[in-house]
Structure 1
Amino acid sequence: MVAVGYYVASLHWFTESSKKLIAKLVTQVALPPYMIVSITKDFTKDELARLLPNLWYPVLSMLILMGISWLVAHFIKVDQSRRGLFMSMFFNSNTVFVGLPINLAIFGEKSLPYVLVYYMANTTIFWTLGVYYIQRDSSNNIKMSITDAIKKIFSAPLLGFMLGIVLIVLDIKLPAFLMSSFSYLGGLTIPLSMLFIGVSVYDAGLKNMRFQKDNLGVLSGRFIFAPILMALLVLPSSMPTIMKEVFILQSCMPVMTNAPVVAKLYDADADFASIMVTETTLLSLVMVPIMMMVLTKLF
């Protein structure tokens, strides 16, 4: 599916506006009902009670990564004009457009709740601490209000996840026709996400690959420090094996696609952010198979 997206992009079927349309269809139309159907179908109250406390693993991992990113930034002497952006990209990952379809393709629908737990932690930390660090690079006085930050955190996918939890807790069964409609809409999630990845990889292009010290620093955070740290945290735990695998795989996903947008908003180094989205997305196509081989050895 990624290859199909890449091919049709090479035929110039997609414009920037059509890419944004795919992104909106996935996050605002397909993903929320997909979450509602999957969670209510596969989970019980008891299972949720065991699942949600594990939210602290990705939170702790990202907080530790934040400290490591500060050390790495100082060690390799990242310029002050992009240091906050460097740190934000180091400890946040793309858990929806890349992480979600990859985990669902590899582990199946049973992985969805675990993907969403990681997503909850990641999106909250990005739109609070991540944006805070990007703001520090700003050459102007633009600030994100608390209201805007809350709106970003409580996005449509997260609201779909929360609604699914409410339905389980209150033991509410939605009408069959509604669940059927949600199922059809949710079925768009994986194919559209995979096509989006293929289009993004084509648009990124290999010509933008640059392996300078700052780039290598972010790559080390995404593909070395993050999965190793997450593995050290989850391996001794009693959580289900599939949850451990999902958390480790989610931790080493590419840089968030929101990073260049936020960097542009705060007059930070948006070009650097765009290059890092490009590099990490391209390299993830290599890293995911490597990580799957590592996970099969660990588990």
Structure 2
Amino acid sequence: MLIIFAKILSVFGITFIGYGANKIKWLPIESTKYLSLILVNIASPCLVVYSMSRQVLTEDTFASVTQSAGLMLLAMTVTALIAIAVVKWMKVPQSDRGVYRLLLTFTNNGFMGYPLSLAIFGEDGLFLMIIANAVFMIYLYSVGVIILIYDKDGKIDLKSAMKSIVSIPFLTSVIGLLMFFLGIHLPSLVDNFLKTIGDMTIPLSMIIIGIQLAESRIRDVLTNKYLYITMILKLIVLPALLFGIFVWLPFNTLAFCIVIFAMTLPSAAVIPVLSDIYGTNTKIASQGVFLTTMLSMISIPIYAILLTLYLGIH
């Protein structure tokens, strides 16, 4: 257990580089806009394509991949339905409901999921997290956008929702899945290039989180009761509920642990970006990501230890 905690701590430790760089004015908050563009549109897509092209399609890998993808889709759908009901129960102002639904549904399994799954579950865990994240991206940039803008002006802006699908993360996820299932492998020169660029994903993602944490103010979230409820549901209640529901289903154990672990992560860092693009409450989106990220430093090690114990037993 100490080894797992040490691995998680080493990953979280990278955030202090971003935190410190922001405090000494090397990386101001404005830099996250450009670093995020590099991460989302260049580094992460390269990692996805590289990982997909390296895998050999066997009966075992096919089963684990399809189960990871299917379980991730099921987990997000169940969570989204619960989020819709919970946000309505919380009596959140109608204009902000979409933001809270996204905070509850979508996790930071790209920025944080990659480094943490590699540290905790190894290379196989990282590959399945990439599969889960591919499904996540497709879901986020289609269903997620509709969930976000559903209450805006009292109607769904399908035109805006469709535009979000034509994005590099979405298209790369689809291409990566097709490459895996069709058994397409890239030349070694291209492979090495993609790996070199993709290796930036893990440190860059944690540095961005560090910068965002350095700029966030805890006193800004202390007066918002909705954020407290969101944090408890996101980090404690929903992952435990999903575990209780899915543990009885006949899924591959590692695929099950990866998806449950993905759902224990804090709210996705991309939510404030989408909120800004579609004209919803960016401030609440940023505060929700900040609060869940801070508290996840306590909840993630606990879930990681429990899931690795479960994986070891099975």
Q: Same fold per TM (> 0.5)?
A: yes
Residue number in structure 1 paired with 2:24:
11
The CA deviation at 1:36 is 3.0
Letter matched to residue 121 of structure 2: F
Match of 2:214 among 193, 198, 202: 202
Residue number in structure 2 paired with 1:102:
116
Unaligned residue ranges in structure 2 (runs of 5+) = 1-13
Residue number in structure 1 paired with 2:35:
22
Unaligned residue ranges in structure 1 (runs of 5+) = none
How far, CA to CA, are the matches of 2:299 and 2:42 in structure 1? 30
The CA deviation at 1:251 is 0.6
Residue number in structure 1 paired with 2:205:
193
Aligned CA distance change for structure 1 residues 89 and 41 (closer, same or farther; 3 Å): same
Match of 2:269 among 257, 275, 282: 257
1:218 aligns with 2:230: yes
How far, CA to CA, are the matches of 2:95 and 2:288 in structure 1? 16
- Bigger Cα displacement from structure 2, 132-141 vs 251-260: 132-141
The CA deviation at 1:159 is 4.7
How far, CA to CA, are the matches of 1:74 and 1:173 in structure 2? 47
Q: CA RMSD in A?
A: 2.7
Q: What's the secondary structure of 1:108's corresponding residue?
A: helix
Deviations 1:35-88 (A, max 9, x none): 333333344243442134322222222222223223322333222222232223
- Bigger Cα displacement from structure 2, 135-144 vs 122-131: 135-144
Aligned CA distance change for structure 1 residues 18 and 160 (closer, same or farther; 3 Å): farther
The CA deviation at 1:34 is 2.2
Residue number in structure 2 paired with 1:35:
48
Runs of 4+ in 1 over 6 A off after TM superposition: none
The CA deviation at 1:94 is 1.9
TM-score for the superposition, normalised by structure 2: 0.82
Aligned CA distance change for structure 1 residues 187 and 128 (closer, same or farther; 3 Å): closer
Identity in percent: 23
Residue number in structure 2 paired with 1:71:
85
- Superposition pairs of residues 72-151 of structure 1, within 5 angstroms: 72-139=86-153, 143-145=157-159, 147-151=162-166
Deviations 1:1-34 (A, max 9, x none): 2222222222111134422222222222222332
Match of 1:272 among 278, 284, 296: 284
Q: What's the secondary structure of 1:81's corresponding residue?
A: helix
TM-score for the superposition, normalised by structure 1: 0.86
Q: How many residues align?
A: 296
